[in-house]
Structure 1
Amino acid sequence: MSVPFDRYVSFKNADWEGKSQRVMARLQRHIDAADNPFWAYFAKKRDELRAKQGLDDLRVLHNYLPTLRELLEDCGDLETLELLEDLEVTCM
């Protein structure tokens, strides 16, 4: 019996999945509000990256980290920015 490889072994106790889910849930508010065209693009790319490349939300967030940080700063969503920065420091 083979054991599945977990590429995030070093994050074992960091709850990277839970943190990623919390950030994505908060980003969904921006996606739903559609105040900026980036959010529709981000949602589409998230779906594509997950479906076609099998990437998880941690990797998707990592791919767009600078843009997400800038947009969250610009709109004053400091709580989501703080969660994203914590995720970056502990899991990226």
Structure 2
Amino acid sequence: MHDYIKERAVQIGRYLVEKRQTVRAVAKAFGVSKSTVHKDLTERLPEIDAELARQVKEILEYHKAIRHLRGGEATRNKYRRDGTEGV
């Protein structure tokens, strides 16, 4: 694995732990795809820094556990903005 990939994986991991943002938000902040962020965090980071990978895993599991709530909230907000609530 190239050094810049290792460095990016660690930077993304630290950023996620610090900001506690979603994979999508982290990908946007770093200018890479969601797939790249996910691969960096789940496959590459454990080989580089096990403790940071453990912290990241906790956050990713939390986001996975509440994603159905985020989706429901997004839909609710969409219909409130459109003025079609209750349709």
TM-score (norm 2): 0.33
Larger relative helix fraction: 2
Give the TM-score normalised by structure 1: 0.31
- Higher-Rg member (1/2): 2
